Structures are given as C-alpha cells and as structure tokens.
Amino acid sequence: MTKSEFVQVMKGVTLLIDFRNDFQFDPESPDYLGFLNTGVPLLSDEDGETFRFIVRNKDLYSEMIEKLGLSTEHGLDEEETVFVLSGEMAIKNFRSRLKFFS
C-alpha cells in the first residue's frame, strides 16, 4: 500500500468515526434520530470523494462499520446510505433515550 493509499484509507476511517459521533446518534441530543442519512450529494466535495472511496471499497470498511456499532438499511450507496445503530448499540441508545425522558 502506498502512502497516498494509506492516507485515503485513513480519511475513510475518520469519516466513518465522524458519522458515528454525529448528534443524530446521541440519545441526549434534542435532535436525536437514531439514524444518519448520507451520500455524496449531501457531503462536502472532499468528504464526498472519501465516501465514494468507502463505497467502492466496501470490503475494506465493513468490519470497521460493524465495530463502530453501525449497520446500513440497504448497504452502502454513493447516492444515499442510511446508517443505523446495530444490535447492542441500538438497545443501549434506546435505554439512554428512555432515561433522557425520565
């Protein structure tokens, strides 16, 4: 792997972490949704290119997405991808959300 390829891979990792840390996954945020809708048209030019790289290299990022506690509703797609919390993360956030209303 070249240095420029490594940099591109790490940009993808950083973007996925940014997605996971978005307020829409924070049960304490008043704007909590529990999902994140994204795609190349919704991102800046640089992030759009990074997301395009993620989509084209799904196999490289699938484990990372899982480790972040995310899954997608219909897979990765450049035009529209809906990230949702997977399994335990969804239950944990749901419980936190219930506490938020208490």
Q: Report residue 21: phi and psi, to 5°.
A: -85, 5
Which residue is associated with the tokens 């699938």?
Answer: 62
Instruction: Write down the pLDDT at residue 4.
Output: 94
First-to-last alpha carbon distance for the chain, in angstroms, is 51
pLDDT tens digits along 87-101: 655 545 555 555 555
Provide the residue ranges of all domains of the chain, joining segments of one domain with +.
3-101
Q: What is the pLDDT of residues 3-62, one digit of tens each?
A: 999 999 999 999 999 999 999 999 889 998 989 999 999 999 999 999 999 999 999 999
Cα-Cα-Cα-Cα dihedral sign, residues 85, 59, 43, 15: positive
Bridge partners of 85, per DSSP, are 70
